[in-house]
């Protein structure tokens, strides 16, 4: 039964341009809130871009996505799913980073998501750059490796840059595989394109049996066919969904640090998530929205819409 406490503020009660913005106008509950234990899916902001190696800004993502997400209504247009009535959802606020200390921030994030896991709260996070995903996986996959459904124009499987051992947003999934957090046989990366320094990421994928679907293959075969393969690859056991907004063509989503031309349009960007229905998504994120590169807010509005699509997939698995 839908709990009135966990329903978003309706635009019929307070117009959607009014009020303090939370994700999808949900109640704001930090971990200390007396009803936090009842949350089943927690929407979390990760305002941190310490993993960016070129154009920064995703630390500003969660706030702009929250604002844009006031546009979200209660019901999915196609499936009819009303996610806020299917599961107790809440905006759990932001996990505060230490903006001048990356290792400290990674520890803080990991510790936070360990607490969510202990409380059986499934996270849907808004980044932040893609390195934010690694501490989430360190928490959620500590006991058993997860499958991965990954939309991106980059594999993020590269070795650390600049001859350093310091991790960036170019290598969270390489680190996650090396740490045993992901099962390479249950990983699929979709939409890959753009120039690269070298083939180190492809070599790593081949050596570990990770499936890469380049954008050319996605468009040649079509979304339904590729996503049928994705569901087969990821399987029915617990999996993580990671969505980098640069999967989408920069004509649609320019607000990101490493845009690559020739990507999906907005409908296709949404459609791939709908085709993920049936997977057991135990955690998900939407990352790399960089408001300084799109002050119209259109990228953040697409990100909020994609988070709603992901949420509808997540509630079906509960």
The site for Mn ion (CB under 5 A) is made up of: 130, 152, 154, 156, 244, 246
Rounded least distance, CB 129 to Mn ion, Å: 8
**C-beta separation of 257 from 60 below 8 A:** no
Closest CB to Mn ion among residues 21, 127: 127
Closest CB to Mn ion among residues 54, 295: 54
Token pair listed for 91: 């905006």
Name, in order, each residue with C-beta under 8 angstroms of 282's C-beta and a sequence gap of 6 or more.
122, 140, 146, 238, 239, 240, 317
- Whole-angstrom distance, CA of residue 241 vs CA of residue 281: 7
Closest CB to Mn ion among residues 47, 250: 250
- Whole-angstrom distance, CA of residue 172 vs CA of residue 234: 19
Rounded least distance, CB 99 to Mn ion, Å: 20
Closest CB to Mn ion among residues 9, 136: 136
Rounded least distance, CB 58 to Mn ion, Å: 10
Using CB atoms within 10 Å of the CB of residue 16, give its burial: 0 to 12 exposed, 13 to 18 middle, 19+ buried: middle
Closest CB to Mn ion among residues 154, 174: 154
Rounded least distance, CB 250 to Mn ion, Å: 11
Cα angle value 74/77/78 (rounded, 5°): 135
Rounded least distance, CB 288 to Mn ion, Å: 6
Rounded least distance, CB 309 to Mn ion, Å: 18
Rounded least distance, CB 68 to Mn ion, Å: 20
Name, in order, each residue with C-beta under 8 angstroms of 157's C-beta and a sequence gap of 6 or more.
171, 173, 174, 177, 189, 200, 201, 204, 205, 210
Closest CB to Mn ion among residues 244, 309: 244
Q: Which of 119, 123, 160, 153 is nearest to 33 (CA)?
A: 119
Closest CB to Mn ion among residues 92, 149: 149
Q: What is the CA radius of gyration of the chain?
A: 18
Cα dihedral sign, 130-136-140-143: positive
Token pair listed for 222: 């079509």
Token pair listed for 224: 């339904």
Closest CB to Mn ion among residues 21, 263: 263
3-state secondary structure of 49: coil
Rounded least distance, CB 283 to Mn ion, Å: 16
């Amino acid at each position: 039964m839908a709990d009135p406490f966990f329903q978003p503020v309706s635009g019929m009660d307070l117009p959607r341009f009014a009020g303090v913005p939370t994700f999808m106008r949900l109640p704001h509950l930090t971990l200390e809130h007396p009803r936090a234990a009842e949350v089943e899916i927690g929407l979390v902001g990760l305002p941190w871009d310490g993993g960016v190696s070129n154009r920064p800004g995703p630390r500003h993502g969660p706030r702009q996505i929250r604002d844009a997400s006031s546009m979200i209504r209660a019901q999915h247009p196609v499936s009819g799913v009303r996610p806020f009535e299917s599961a107790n959802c809440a905006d759990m606020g932001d996990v505060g980073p230490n903006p001048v200390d990356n290792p400290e921030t990674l520890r803080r994030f990991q510790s936070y998501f360990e607490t969510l896991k202990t409380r059986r709260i499934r996270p849907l996070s808004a980044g932040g750059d893609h390195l934010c995903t690694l501490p989430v996986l360190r928490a959620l996959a500590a006991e058993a490796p997860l499958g991965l459904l990954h939309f991106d124009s980059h594999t993020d499987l590269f070795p650390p840059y600049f001859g350093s051992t310091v991790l960036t947003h170019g290598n969270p999934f390489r680190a996650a595989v090396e740490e045993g957090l992901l099962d390479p046989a249950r990983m699929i990366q979709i939409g890959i394109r753009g120039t690269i320094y070298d083939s180190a990421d492809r070599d790593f994928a081949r050596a570990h049996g990770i499936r890469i679907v380049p954008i050319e293959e996605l468009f040649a075969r079509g979304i339904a066919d590729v996503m049928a393969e994705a569901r087969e690859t990821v399987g029915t056991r617990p999996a993580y969904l990671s969505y980098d907004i640069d999967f989408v063509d920069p004509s649609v989503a320019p607000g990101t640090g490493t845009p690559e031309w020739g990507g999906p349009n907005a409908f296709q960007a949404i459609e791939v998530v709908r085709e993920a229905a049936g997977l057991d998504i135990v955690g998900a994120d939407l990352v790399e929205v960089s408001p300084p590169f799109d002050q119209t807010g259109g990228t953040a509005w697409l990100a909020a819409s994609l988070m709603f699509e992901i949420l509808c997939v997540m509630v079906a698995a509960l």
